[in-house]
Structure 1
């Protein structure tokens, strides 16, 4: 019987264009359920796809601090999140929640 060889899945390998990056972030925002570290990790995935060094430069952060902020192990400040989102060429938007009255 042949052995099955598996490799570690890395979502950043599939985030090849801004539309895919935006769709991934949107899906993560919907699934996060208020978990800021989850969103930070998603931004880290996108930053790795785009190139962490370039994103750090564009965001005005050191590469090390960007890795730490987007590791998913801590909750970065909102100002850092906004800088990273801008450096990624993405933007946040808000929409009203549909409620039944």
Structure 2
């Protein structure tokens, strides 16, 4: 192989790899853009539905059987929460821990 042939071959290979890298970067950007668009749509839908639901709830107050159901549901949740809380063991913090927590709070 003559040096000229090698130079031509090397140049061609470099061009191919450069093109390949550019294509991969472009593909990655497209995929990223698509993902971000999907996320935005999902977030928009959820927030939109949430606001519409809460507006509907505010416009018409809970009454009658709905109120009873709501109270029962809250009682169940409260009982469950208290049950789980009683199972947890709370250890008292030492003075050093309290100081560290305070410092972290100030930094935030």
Q: Could you say which structure has the larger radius of gyration?
A: 2
- Relative CO higher for 1 or 2, CA cutoff 8 Å, sep ≥ 6? 1
Q: Is the TM value for this pair above 0.5?
A: no
Greater helix fraction, Structure 1 or Structure 2:
2
Interval of TM-score (by shorter of Structure 1 and Structure 2):
under 0.3
